[in-house]
Amino acid sequence: MSVDLAGLKALVTGGAFGIGLATRSWMGRPGLQAKRRLRLRRGWPSRLTGVPVGEGRKMWETEEFGSEHEGRPGVLLADGTEPGPVYFDTGSGPTVHQSVDWWVYDGTIGAPLATELRGTCSCGWRGSTRYPLDWEAVDRRRPYLADTSGPEGDWDTHITEVQARTVPVPADLTALLDQVETRLTALVADEPLAALRAVTALERLTERVATDAAFSVDTADGPQRDTIAQALGVSEQAARSHLTHYGLRR
C-alpha cells in the first residue's frame, strides 16, 4: 500500500501554528478525555515507615502541556500552610530522598500532619477548594488508591481555563489534523513502513513551518513574552525555549 505524501503535506500546510504534530494544541476540540493521562510512578522502599516512598505517585497531565501543567493532590496543615518536601534517609547511601506525595504528610517519623487536600499544578496554581483528609479511611499500604477526585476535578477546571486563554487553532486545521491522525493510525496496522515514511515527511514539514512561525513571532515589534506564553499555555521560560529551539534550526 502506498501513501500520498503530497496529500498529507497539503493537509497540514494551511495555517499550522508551528508547535509540531507531536505536540499540537487541539485548541478547537472541547473536553479533556482524549488528552488526559494519569501517571503512576514507582518509588523506593522506605526502611523507616514501611510504605514505599513515591510508590504509585499520582500525577495528572495533558498531552498538550505535559510537565508545564502537571497536577497532583497537594496538602495543607491545620494552620492553612503548605508544607515543604518530606526528606527520607533510606540508608542506601549518601543520597537523601524527598517527597511531596500527599500521603507522606501523616504525622509520623517527623513528618507534619496534613489535614486537608487541594489541587495543585506545577505552574504554581493552587485550588481554592479544600477537602478534609480522613487518615482513618486511608490504606497506609496503598494510600495512592484513596479518592482524590475533588482535587483532580479542580485541576481539570484549571486546565480548561488555561486552554481558554490560548490562541485558537482554526477549526478546519484541527479537523485536518484529526484526519491525519486517523489515517496514520490505520496505516500503522496496514503498512507500518509507509506510516514511518509519512511521519518523517510530516516531521520535516512541521519543523520548517515551526521555524518560520518562530521567526515571525520573535521580532522587535512582535508580541511580548507574557503574551506568547499565554497564547501557548506555558510559562515564559518554556515559550522562550520553544522559540529558541525552532529559531536555531534556520
Neighbouring CB atoms inside 10 A of 123's CB total 18
β-strand partners of 52: none
- As given in the structure block, the three cell numbers for residue 55 are 510508590
Residue 245, pLDDT score: 84
β-strand partners of 41: 57
Task: Tell me the backbone φ, ψ of residue 248, rounded to 5 degrees.
Answer: -70, -15
Q: How confident is the model at residue 247 (pLDDT cuts 50, 70, 90)?
A: confident
Q: Evaluate whether 70 touches 122 at the Cβ level (below 8 Å).
A: yes
Region 186-207: mean pLDDT is: 95
pTM: 0.73
Q: At what angle do helices 171-190 and 192-217 cross, to 10 degrees?
A: 150
* Statement: residue 239 has pLDDT above 50: yes
The set of residues, in sequence order, having a beta carbon less than 8 Å from that of 167 and lying 6+ positions away, is: 17, 27, 231, 232
Region 168-184: mean pLDDT is: 94
